[in-house]
């Protein structure tokens, strides 16, 4: 290869490397990903504003209403997602589709929707006796899609 071809090959590689989009880091403030109005709409009852656990811990946010609690937990990696998918009995897990790169519901009697997106993951949970299990799963999916669009 002559010098001009080497420079052209090198320059082409630099241009290609520069145009590959970087994957954004997963968000760290769970409360910034959903509004009380979005949560209220999904669960069919008015919830209060989302609150972090306190002490500077912002990876979990909770919205509360009489007889209901909704939580979102964000993770900077996929370790918990992968662990739950691999380690727990299939009888406690059902695959979910339509959100993220991979998703599953986990739990017997109650559920939590775990979603893997890019380099991170999150868990969306609705805790209540006011809704059927199918309604809980539907609300979790609606909320998870909204979170995934910002994740």
Query: Comparing 73 with 12, which gets the higher pLDDT?
Result: 73
Which pLDDT does position 22 carry in this prediction? 55
Cα–Cα distances (Å) from 44 to 34, 66, 79, 126, 136, in that order, read: 15, 12, 32, 12, 11
Q: What's the rounded mean pLDDT across residues 78-99?
A: 79
Task: Tell me the C-alpha distance between 101 and 73, whole Å.
Answer: 17
Per-range mean pLDDT, top range of 75-84, 102-111, 126-135:
126-135
Q: How confident is the model at residue 23 (pLDDT cuts 50, 70, 90)?
A: low
Domains within the chain, CATH numbers bracketed? 24-148 (3.40.1000)
Query: Comparing 38 with 96, which gets the higher pLDDT?
Result: 38
Strand locations in 34-139 (E)? 51-54, 57-65, 68-75, 93-96, 102-106, 112-117, 120-128
Query: Is 70 exceeded by the pLDDT of residue 90?
Result: no
CB 126 within 8 A of CB 110: no
Nearest to 43 by CA among 70, 73, 61, 62: 70
Q: How confident is the model at residue 10 (pLDDT cuts 50, 70, 90)?
A: very low
Task: Tell me the C-alpha distance between 20 and 104, whole Å.
Answer: 30
> Average model confidence (pLDDT) for the chain?
82
Q: What's the rounded mean pLDDT across residues 110-138?
A: 92
């Amino acid at each position: 290869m002559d010098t001009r071809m080497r420079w052209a090959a090198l320059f082409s590689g630099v241009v290609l490397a520069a145009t590959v989009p970087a994957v954004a880091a997963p968000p760290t403030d769970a409360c910034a990903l959903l509004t009380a109005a979005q949560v209220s709409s999904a669960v069919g009852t008015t919830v209060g504003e989302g609150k972090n656990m306190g002490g500077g811990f912002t990876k979990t946010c909770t919205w509360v209403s009489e007889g209901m609690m909704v939580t979102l937990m964000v993770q900077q990696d996929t370790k918990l997602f992968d662990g739950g998918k691999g380690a727990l009995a299939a009888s406690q897990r059902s695959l979910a589709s339509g959100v993220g790169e991979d998703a599953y519901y986990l739990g017997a009697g109650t559920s939590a929707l775990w979603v893997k997106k890019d380099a991170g993951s999150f868990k969306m949970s609705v805790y209540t006796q006011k809704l059927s299990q199918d309604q809980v799963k539907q609300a979790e999916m609606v909320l998870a899609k909204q979170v995934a669009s910002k994740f």
